[in-house]
Structure 1
Amino acid sequence: MLKTYKLFVGGKFPRSESGRVYEVTDSKGNWLANPPLASRKDARDAVVAARKAVGGWSGATAYNRGQILYRIAEMLEGRREQFIGEVAAGEGLSRAKAAGRVDAAVDRWVWYAGWADKIAQVAGGANPVAGPFFNLSSPEPTGVVAVLAPRRCSFLGLVSVLAPVIVTGNTAVLVPSEERPLPALSLSEVLATSDLPGGVVNVLSGRASELGTPLAAHQDVNAIDLAGAGPELARDLEIAAADNLKRVVRPAPDREPDWRGDPGTARMLPFLETKTVWHPVGS
């Protein structure tokens, strides 16, 4: 019996509100699956779920978030063969090369998990002031982040844009690669059986051109990562995002980057806001 893929919203697996599906093929044009084709209504529902989850996830200790992400990495490792098959079929790679991409993705998830209780030391600090005061700056999550995942690098690229959003305490509405969504849909199955609270990650398979507009214009979305948007779509979505002053991470200007490189902290810092507190010395 063929597997039925569904969306992942609020920790549950609903069918698309429209009832639509679309065909996904491998690199040679052979049929692989019919994932759901999410609609604008699905996008709005995902934002509601993500907003509801912000308080609990951002309020969790950094150590707790890190431990949850470490456990997810272990679960990804347990499904290694499944992800290798999906990456090999979708990206037209040999199993050996696909295995390298999957192992790199799991390692990257672990790498980001380790930053959960360390990024505050990089993004925050004590500020010198004139007067008997302590002046401390600390990073806080920005809220709900819409993420258009890379179109070509279906698993390593996906992890490279999703993990930095949630490790810093934000919640995500993720639109995976339209042509290669299966690793993202399988990831949602892992997340559903992990300790990650429902709504922290919501996965909408479908067309970035259809889902990107309502997400970019949504007043309850605080930031958007356009990694998987082409130049024209990225321009249109950036204009839509300006209506409520969303933070926007632009895509690479020329072509999709090599996601195997050192990620650094560049994808975590845009989704943090700085809170500065003054406190009298000796009180």
Structure 2
Amino acid sequence: MAERRTSAKKAARTAPKAPARLAVRKTYKLYLGGAFPRSESGRSYPVTSADGDHLANASLASRKDARDAVTAARKAFGGWSGRTAYNRGQVLYRVAEVMEGRRSQFTDQLAAAQGLERSEADTVVSAAIDRWVYYAGWTDKFAQVIGGSNPVAGPYYNHSSPEPTGVVAVFAPQDAPLLGLTSVLAPVVATGNTAVVVTSEEAPLPAVDLAEVLATSDVPGGVVNLLTGRAGEIGPHLAPHGDVDALDLAGAGEHATAFEEAAAETLTRVLRPGNEAGGGERAWLDPDPGTSRMSPFLETKTVWHPIGV
């Protein structure tokens, strides 16, 4: 027995060591129409951690990429808005399920991107998952809360019901790359709209991870399209776009006024930045955001009907 132990030790000492591996550097792509294409421009930019360490490269979206994203969103709008509210709720809940299975990955990315303690990053990830569940529950309820029957004087009645606006361009919060992004994106798609999202420039990796979740869940291609890059470069092509029906300027920052003015050319609906702007992920921790981010992207249809003969 002693001889065998001695032989095993000698073999361990003489066994060749595994060669040192080179780091596998990633260049993350865009998410358009359910696929992950490279930027048409071929450009990318380095993404660093809160400590300045290189994490990966992200695609730098161009004008052509923005147009392709709008085209994909418009193509997907009819099918998505035509689904039953209950089914949209199931789809959004599935996003939460897939995120729950990848919780550790999201926590690591968020901690690296913003320099958060792991426990704090885990709190933010939990809130983001819960936010998808929250809006999944609203899909078949907001019509009853926002719509309703109207009192009239005459032999008729009418009732109003909300319908999705269409394609919404969303500028995600720059300092809240996961919970802030979820808080502005989920209500848009919960109400039957499709989205073109400009992610956080400095911390786009949590958004790319979310794109992978969307691609492997039940969300149809084109319902959500994610562009990484500079809001100031992409925004001027989205704000006045004739096929964009609404803008959410939550993360537009100093460009918000310019984008709003550009959107006026096509009478595009605009939601200005709220009090959360600049507050980081913590500013989006409200567990009950209500309908404040759903109603701006709904149109009201009123139907009149005669009573009697």
Closer, same or farther: CA 276–28 of 1 in aligned 2, 3 Å? same
2:137 maps to a residue whose letter is G
Counterpart residue number, 1:243: 265
Cα distance, 1:132 vs. partner?
A: 2.1
Cα distance, 1:188 vs. partner?
A: 0.7
Alignment of 1:93-104 (within 5 A): 93-104=116-127
Counterpart residue number, 2:170: 147
Closer, same or farther: CA 53–282 of 1 in aligned 2, 3 Å? farther
Aligned partner of residue 197 in structure 2, secondary structure: strand
Asked whether 1:263 is paired with 2:263, we answer no
Alignment of 1:99-118 (within 5 A): 99-118=122-141
Asked whether 1:17 is paired with 2:23, we answer no
Residue ranges of structure 1 left out of the alignment (5+ in a row)? none
1:235 maps to a residue whose letter is T
Q: 1:40 aligns with which of 63, 75, 84?
A: 63
Cα distance, 1:193 vs. partner?
A: 1.3
Asked whether 1:233 is paired with 2:258, we answer no
% of aligned pairs identical? 67
1:204 maps to a residue whose letter is L
Cα distance, 1:134 vs. partner?
A: 2.2
Distance 1:76 1:70 in 2: 10
CA deviations 1:165-222 (Å, max 9, x no partner) are 0000000000110001001111111111111111000000000001111000100000
Residue ranges of structure 2 left out of the alignment (5+ in a row)? 1-23
TM-score, reference length from structure 1: 0.97
Counterpart residue number, 2:306: 280
Cα distance, 1:281 vs. partner?
A: 2.6
Alignment of 1:1-283 (within 5 A): 1-230=24-253, 232-252=254-274, 255-257=277-279, 258-261=283-286, 262-281=288-307
Distance 2:305 2:85 in 1: 23
CA deviations 1:57-89 (Å, max 9, x no partner) are 011110010000001110011110000011101
Count how many residue pairs are aligned between Structure 1 and Structure 2: 282
Aligned partner of residue 35 in structure 1, secondary structure: strand
Distance 1:276 1:107 in 2: 33
1:274 maps to a residue whose letter is T
Moved more, 164-173 or 256-265: 256-265
Distance 1:263 1:87 in 2: 22
Aligned partner of residue 59 in structure 2, secondary structure: coil
TM-score, reference length from structure 2: 0.89
Structure with larger Rg: 2
CA deviations 1:224-247 (Å, max 9, x no partner) are 0000011x3001000000011111
1:109 maps to a residue whose letter is W
